[in-house]
Amino acid sequence: AEYLASPVKMKTEVIYPIETYGSAMAPFYTVLAQWVGALLTAVLIKTQVKKRDDLQNLKMDERFFGRYGLYMFIGLAQALIVSLGDLLYVGIQCEHPVLFVLQACMNGLVFMMINYALAFALENIGLGAGVIILVLQVAGSGGTYPVEVLPRVFQILYPAMPFRYSMNAMRECIAGTYGHTYAKCMGALCLFFIGAAVFGLVLHKPAKW
């Protein structure tokens, strides 16, 4: 009777245990908060420098990266607040807290650059694009559901979503690292940073025409 009731016995061995649902969802909501913060910064702070006599001879790259310095400072401040809040106030599980804070800072730099470059090159259209990118990533980055069960369009766009690499890196910090996943995610985010900077610099003048 015991055999018929349970013909197969299973033994579960947890490799990377996460104790609470909140800790498991922390990467998604942390990354989401950082993107929203970057988007609101692009809305509230102008990307263009005011016209002044002593700034007439600035080159395009000087204008771009000079103004981005303010965005970078705000992005790092947001990253420290949200990551330390997760660790010290919310009290999420985290195997590598230093790497977690470092990853949040990386997210802040990259997300700020993406939204700043869009607004710098395309102004209001760029801000709208930032919102669209946010919506696509919330729905299709695998933050709440595995990407394998999402519609095909999200599976195609998934490799091009910054959320993917930011969340995967943060999961490494929370549950434990696996191979070189953390470094690969950081490298991918560096490529997003460079690509966004090139986008903003190259399309600024054509978009103004």
Q: What is the pLDDT of residue 208?
A: 62
In Å, how far are 185, 188, 209 from 159, measured between CA atoms? Answer: 11, 10, 32
Q: Which residues of 124-154 are buried (b: 16+ CB within 10 A; e: fewer)?
A: eebbebbeebbebbeebbbbeeebeebeeeb
Q: What is the pLDDT of residue 204?
A: 81
Distance, CA of 100 to CA of 84 (rounded, Å): 9
Report angle CA 201, 64, 186 to the nearest 5 degrees: 80
Measured between alpha carbons, how far is residue 78 from residues 47, 62, 140 in Å?
Answer: 19, 24, 24
CA distance linking residue 35 with residue 31, whole number of Å: 6
Which pLDDT value is given to residue 209?
57
**pLDDT attached to residue 203:** 87
pTM given for the model: 0.89
SS (H, E, C) 131-183: HHHHHHHHHHCCCCCCHHHCCHHHHHHHHHCHHHHHHHHHHHHHHCCCCCHHH
Mind listing the pLDDT tens digit of every residue in the chain (209 residues)?
A: 777 777 787 888 888 888 889 999 999 999 999 999 999 999 999 888 777 666 677 788 888 998 899 999 999 999 999 999 999 999 999 999 999 999 999 999 999 999 999 999 998 999 999 999 999 999 988 888 888 888 899 899 999 999 999 999 999 999 999 999 999 999 999 999 999 999 999 988 776 65
All residues at 6 or more sequence positions from 49 whose CB lies less than 8 Å from its CB, including other chains: 55, 58, 63, 66, 67
Which pLDDT value is given to residue 63?
Answer: 85
